[in-house]
A and B are shown apart, each in its own frame.
Chain A
């Protein structure tokens, strides 16, 4: 019966055959590789451009904004953006890029990577949302204390930053749960089955 299973499995009928044109396949492969590389770089580049834009803008503010509290906030935001850039590099390095390792090893690597992303999502309030919002609030408090920004404008600005912070917190919490929790449970089950 063993042979029978193998025979059935390998009985790929005429109706189901792969055909490929060698010359065109190589062109397809190369263009796919180019497209893939572009796509991969795109996501990381966007994040890095954002961080790179923030750094000089706030360094500029340190010198040119007249309010002391805003200067301090600018330095704080610029430092945070630099730290964030290094963090992005660390995340990129952790991604399991090689699909040529054995299956179990690939599962371990993927789990470690997802756990790292989940941990980042779970703690985003401390390293992402609070520093950002705190920086922006401090920056806004500068002109408020000096009496330049008052009334409705001041309230609107403060409410805007707080709103963005709260929104970002719930979005990250939701996306972490949606994208990582389920996958990690599945991965754990799979690793457990493999190791049984």
Chain B
């Protein structure tokens, strides 16, 4: 692949890495699974780079790939530790409950656990919403119309808040 694509890829990964990692975190069982999934996502983004034609913003395009890869990994029920790509160039530090931001971490862990309990469709939608993607972009990533997105977001948020209240 040419240098231009490589630069676009690296820049986009740098800008979106935390967002993609957050999405992966709700599809993986643990921190190690998150890393494996994240690597798989990066690999698929890199593999699809030649087909990126700029119709959508690169961030939106990356979200699409991330969700589809997360879905594919789950449906295949692949044992990620054994079958995914190993990249030494990427390191992800783990979330620790006993860190200085103890309360904040607890809330984040609780929120992730609540999201993990949702069905796949709701999970995909709410993660994009929480990444503050406009409804228009969410509908483009998921293939739904904007009204449906709005209705679903409202419903899922209520579910999440109820779940969080029970956990905190």
B-binding residues in A (CB < 8 A): 1-2, 5-6, 8-22, 24-29, 32-33, 35-36, 98-107, 110, 183, 186-187, 189-190, 193-194
Contact = CB atoms under 8 A, between A and B. Distances in A.
A5 B161 contact: yes
28 contacts: A5-B161, A6-B132, A8-B108, A8-B111, A11-B108, A12-B108, A14-B93, A14-B101, A16-B21, A16-B93, A18-B21, A19-B91, A19-B92, A20-B91, A25-B90, A28-B85, A28-B89, A29-B43, A29-B46, A29-B87, A35-B85, A99-B68, A100-B52, A100-B65, A101-B68, A106-B68, A107-B71, A190-B120
Interface of B: 6, 9-10, 13, 17-18, 21-22, 31, 38, 42-44, 46-48, 51-52, 61, 64-65, 67-69, 71-72, 75, 85, 87-96, 99, 101, 104-105, 107-108, 111, 119-122, 124, 130-132, 140-144, 157, 160-161
Q: Is the interface of B mostly helix, strand, loop or mixed?
A: helix
Nearest to A6: B130
Contacts, number: 158
B71 A20 contact: no
Nearest to B62: A100
A138 B13 CA distance: 60
Contacts of B51: 98, 100
Q: Is the interface of A mostly helix, strand, loop or mixed?
A: helix
Given A5-B161, A13-B105, A15-B96, A36 B21 contact: no
Contacts of B121: 190, 193-194
Contacts of A5: 111, 130, 157, 160-161
